[in-house]
Amino acid sequence: MTTKEEVKRIIDKYNESFSELSNNGTAKEFKTVMKYIADQANKRQRQLVGWKRLRKGLKNKNNSLYSC
């Protein structure tokens, strides 16, 4: 997973401008920032639907979806 510090460094380098990052940044920098954004969005989405609890149930109870 991409670290918050690495993304912060990249964003600061381009003056917190998404446009400047996409136009002047390297492909790796752009991909790193986008991956971090996607990971954070997915994390938040899982929290909203309670997936963390569901995943924990899947891990601990013979991988059955109904054992939550």
Extents of the domains making up the chain: 4-67
Q: Which residue type, as a one-letter code, is found at position 54?
A: L
Asked whether residue 20 carries a pLDDT value surpassing 70, the answer given is yes
Q: Which residue has the tokens 């569901």?
A: 54
Say if residues 53 and 60 touch (Cβ distance below 8 Å). no
Q: What is the pLDDT of residue 50?
A: 84
pLDDT of 25-64, one tens digit each?
999 999 999 999 999 999 999 888 886 655 555 555 555 5
Q: What is the pLDDT of residue 33?
A: 96
